[in-house]
Structure 1
Amino acid sequence: MNIRLCLLWAFFAFGVEAIWKFSVKHITTDGDNDATETYLPLPSTDPWYRAPDGWEAAQPGTVFKVRHHAYNVSLVPVANLKEVFQVLFRSTNSLENATWGVTTVFIPKNCTQGIVSYQLPYDTSCLDASPSFGLQWGDPYGEIGQSLGRGWWVSVPDFEGPLASYGASIVAGYITIDSVRAVLATVAKEFGVKNARVGLWGYSNGASATEAAVEFAPKYAPELKLAGAAIGGLTPSLSTSGPMLRGTQVSGLLVQGIIGVTSQYPEQRKWVLSRLHQSGPYNATEFFWATYMSGWQSLLYYAYVDVFQYFIGGRADLEEPGMLAMFYREGTLGVFGIPNTPIFMYHAIDDDTTPIGETDSVVRNFCEKGSNILYHRNSWGGHNDELTNGRQRSLDFFGTVLGGGNTLPFPATGCETVDIKFMQDPNKPIA
């Protein structure tokens, strides 16, 4: 049997088993109540994971629901964790219409006034693979636990939104901002924490959400005073990076991105559906199987596939004027606004997923217009390596802007670009 067909059946079987396993012994709620005995249900079947009637009329950032004790923390393998709650709030989509979002907030055992909004890169058009559900089984990179260890609250938004719009930077930026608004309102009302300092952190696709947020914030949320943002492995241009992915070990990101971005654009989604082969080895059904896969599953299933083969006209179908306009609008960062918060930017010089030259250009543009940035260009490793290599420096940056633990020397004004060669020692714990 074809190895990819075997993988597909394996994912299907795993999904069915997961739905059965994690739907047993749960308590769901429709309102602002306690949540579960064991595990939350899948977002697609969870009645709490829905906006209330009349939600569209509310202002962005308005809190609709708070789910206390969202996880059974005795079952969650996250270090330094005291409790978890979730917030559902109003936001804005890529077409500037009303949408809503959810964020999951981890409370540290020893709290400070600092909050890290951590945009976890989850790289999928599958709603049921959103962080609010998946983090019940742990912290994939350890960064949540490490942040909690510094005493910071950690908010992890489902920044792709209720349509799982992977790759759509505009809605991701808006949801990130509104998640911060909602969390600040909730911690003030529910926990008496006022005047909290907030930092944003994201790597790879999480960096796109974070970067879009800091560009939008001055106009979209002028009342929001962010303490800083750590942005690593940024993809400033989908138009450049997208075609580079086909036929590589990360081809699945291109499939997920086409599905995710077009979820925000009905006309472009219709175009994609009309141009996919309906039969043969590369067909529409197989293409949209990605909507049932996590990011990791799609990386395995679509590895080294020439994604253009799914389309009748090949690459040309994705370069149709409407598609190009959509990809440019959603995937070109550095053009929406000028950040007014300190930024720690880090990128591997030999990044094999997103060229460093484009991040260089974004930094240069921001710096010429008055931004405050420390930019580390690391000559050690590639895209995946810098996720780990940049972690300690990011935590220390937040130590500088939020307080707590080690700090990172940061320019008081203006910008500083530093070429470094740094590999995180795997035997040295990150703190």
Structure 2
Amino acid sequence: MLVRSAGTAAVIVAAVATAPVAHAGAIYPAADRDGFYYAGGNLGAAAPGDVLNSRLIPAHPFGGATVWQLLFRSTDSQGGPIAAVTTLISPGPGPKPLLSYQPFVNSLGMQCAPSHSLFDGSMKEAQALPLLLARGWAISVPDHLGPTSAYGAARLGGQITLDSIRAVKRFAPAGLADGPVGLAGYSGGAMSTGFAGALAPSYAPELPIVGVALGGTPVNPGKIAIQAGDTPQALFGLGFAVGVGLQREYPAQLPLDEALTPAGFALRDRIANSCVDDIISAGANHRISEMFHTSIENDPVLIATFHENALEIAPELIHAPLYMWHGANDQVPLDLTLATAGRYCAAGTPVQFDIIGGADHATAIFPGSISAFSYLGDRFAGLAPPSNCR
């Protein structure tokens, strides 16, 4: 397993259950073997959203559609240039609405990225896309966790999402330069979607975003972990993976190595290349005190890093019409999401918030998605947005 330090050194280490050795700095995923994912030349000379490379995908499960993958320039959390990928699925030529859909990747391995999971059968949400193509929409599905699968780096995900839309609109063969844009995502996908909506007025003000849909949103993963306390959690692995992903994006700032116990190092090594189901299984019913030394929650750098990626307290606000949904029995706290919606309402954003009765985090996605896509269809049609703000 490759471990990269904050500098340039790299060492090979083994995950062990006893005191680990040489765990210096962030642990990164295995590199993607497909050379398409790597930009050549002077990446810094390209503007955010510029298309660096493209390819047509001839074999795909979306009958009647044309599918491209675009490599484009985006920006990391330190302001540096990065290359990212989106998959564009279009039902035909000519102007049409564009939906940017951010799946719940919630993973740390590069093989879990949407540009792979759309085609290998592992993306559960892919079954809904033909219904959206039948509406006449084009769909962009970005690899919104970025080139190191930095799960939890939601601000990065928002920037990648916005630059992926820019890339699609600049890609002449698709003919999508004109037409409205909608954003949608669930769970980890909602984190990137929410930041895309919040950052758009300052980061990409030229994009015609007419609606945003967020479901099951972890609006503040750090606070969620603290509120859960030191009790076994079924979804502990996802919260732990957020810390691993954030360290990848903030290797010089996040002191994760100082906080992990031997069991924590072992779990980090265990899931460093894992997709969401394996992460949940590996972390199920573990607790904070098993994996972290006490008082880590008081580290000011860790707090600042989590705050920078928390929609609940981000200074940027979503101003586009917004649909939000959440399961009544969701393990992700409903009260935090309601409070975040209240911030947007207070800022004048029309928010429609639906609570899915009896649903938990796993079962709320599909009933809410039906309403979300109907909501975005109305925004594409230019109808006035509903609101149940109080």
Q: Please give the range of the TM-score, normalised by the shorter of the 2 chains.
A: 0.7 to 0.9
Give the aligned partner of residue 269 of structure 2: 288
Give the aligned partner of residue 5 of structure 1: none
Q: Secondary structure at the match of 1:208?
A: helix
Give RMSD over aligned pairs: 2.4
| Contact 2:68-2:88 within 8 A present in 1 as well | yes
Find the partner of 2:361 among 375, 383, 386.
383
Give the aligned partner of residue 281 of structure 2: 300
Structure 1's 169 and 373: CA in aligned 2 closer, same or farther, altered over 3 A?
Answer: same
How far did 1:259 drift?
Answer: 0.5
Give the aligned partner of residue 120 of structure 2: 137
How far did 1:114 drift?
Answer: 1.3
Equivalence map 1:174-193=2 (5 Å): 174-186=159-171, 189-193=172-176
Higher relative contact order (CA 8 A, sep 6+): 2
How far did 1:265 drift?
Answer: 1.0
Identity %: 27
How far did 1:52 drift?
Answer: 1.9
Q: Which runs of 5+ in 1 are unaligned?
A: 1-7, 9-41, 419-431
Find the partner of 1:150 among 119, 135, 159.
135
Distance 2:242 2:175 in 1: 40
Distance 2:284 2:233 in 1: 6
Distance 1:110 1:346 in 2: 33
Runs of 4+ in 1 over 4 A off after TM superposition: 109-112
Give the aligned partner of residue 65 of structure 1: 53
Q: Which runs of 5+ in 2 are unaligned?
A: 1-14, 16-29
How far did 1:112 drift?
Answer: 6.5
Equivalence map 1:72-151=2 (5 Å): 72-73=59-60, 76=61, 78=62, 80-108=63-91, 113-138=96-121, 139-141=123-125, 142-151=127-136
Give the aligned partner of residue 202 of structure 1: 185
| Contact 1:110-1:151 within 8 A present in 2 as well | no
Letter in 2 for 1:401: R
Distance 1:276 1:359 in 2: 29
Using the size of structure 1 for normalisation, the TM-score is 0.77
- Tell me if 1:372 matches 2:350: yes
| Contact 1:238-1:332 within 8 A present in 2 as well | no
Q: Deviations over 1:21-73 (max 9, x none)?
A: xxxxxxxxxxxxxxxxxxxxx9611111102221123211111111112x512
Give the aligned partner of residue 428 of structure 1: none
Q: Secondary structure at the match of 2:141?
A: strand
Structure 1's 324 and 247: CA in aligned 2 closer, same or farther, altered over 3 A?
Answer: same
| Contact 1:376-1:417 within 8 A present in 2 as well | no
Distance 2:216 2:384 in 1: 21
Give the aligned partner of residue 325 of structure 2: 346
Letter in 2 for 1:287: R
How far did 1:283 drift?
Answer: 5.0
| Contact 2:72-2:167 within 8 A present in 1 as well | yes
Q: Secondary structure at the match of 2:336?
A: helix
Letter in 1 for 2:238: L
Structure 1's 409 and 65: CA in aligned 2 closer, same or farther, altered over 3 A?
Answer: same
Letter in 2 for 1:300: S
How far did 1:318 drift?
Answer: 4.4
Distance 2:149 2:184 in 1: 20
Q: Secondary structure at the match of 1:337?
A: coil
| Contact 2:107-2:275 within 8 A present in 1 as well | yes
Structure 1 range deviating more: 300-309 or 153-162: 300-309
| Contact 1:118-1:155 within 8 A present in 2 as well | yes
Letter in 2 for 1:181: R
Structure 1's 119 and 386: CA in aligned 2 closer, same or farther, altered over 3 A?
Answer: same
